[in-house]
Amino acid sequence: MADAFAPLRFLVGEWVGEGGGLPGQSSGAASFRFELDGKVLVRRSHADMAPTKDRPASRHEDLLSIFSEGGALKAHYLDNEGHVIRYRVAEVPGGVAFTSDPAPGPRFRLSYLKRAEGLVTVRFEIAPPAKPEAFSVYLEAQTRKTK
């Protein structure tokens, strides 16, 4: 039996963001752990946003559950801002991409791209409703595996 989670195994562990800490930037961390007897890979992450002259400091928290259904990898994303995103998961050159289905509103793609041993680029892209394939980078960060 094939390992449905094989494309994601490089993510298992603890990760920290590598940033400059300048005003307007964020710092954060994430963990990927198998739960439910290895049937679900769960990412818990947070980002702490530094204050700027226009807004106070804030904290973003989210939960991503990744599972196999009908022979395909899928994921559900939830955060403390009330967002819910349903993703399809696919292996891409150098990593893995989570892409939301076309629906009313924008479309999203979250990618994890291996850069070197223990280093991964995290990229979040958004496509406008009228052009669901026209993804543009909303944010990108470098992360380093700590465990």
**81, part of any domain:** yes
pLDDT at 55: 83
**109, part of any domain:** yes
CATH number at residue 93: 2.40.128.20
Q: Average pLDDT across each block of 10 residues of the chain; the chain has 147 residues. List them in order.
A: 90 85 70 96 91 86 96 95 95 96 91 94 94 92 93
H/E element, 113: strand 107-116
Q: Whole-prediction pTM value? A: 0.88
**Which domain covers residue 17, as residue numbers?**
6-145
**129, part of any domain:** yes
C-alpha dihedral sign at 60, 94, 125, 51: positive
**1, part of any domain:** no
DSSP β-bridge partners for residue 77:
64, 85
Q: What is the mean pLDDT of the chain?
A: 91
pLDDT at 58: 87
Domain count, the chain: 1
Question: What DSSP string runs through 48-79?
Answer: EEPP-SSS--EEEEEEEEEEEETTEEEEEEEE
CA–CA separation, 112 and 94 (whole Å): 8
**Is the distance from CB of 95 to CB of 113 less than 8 angstroms?**
yes
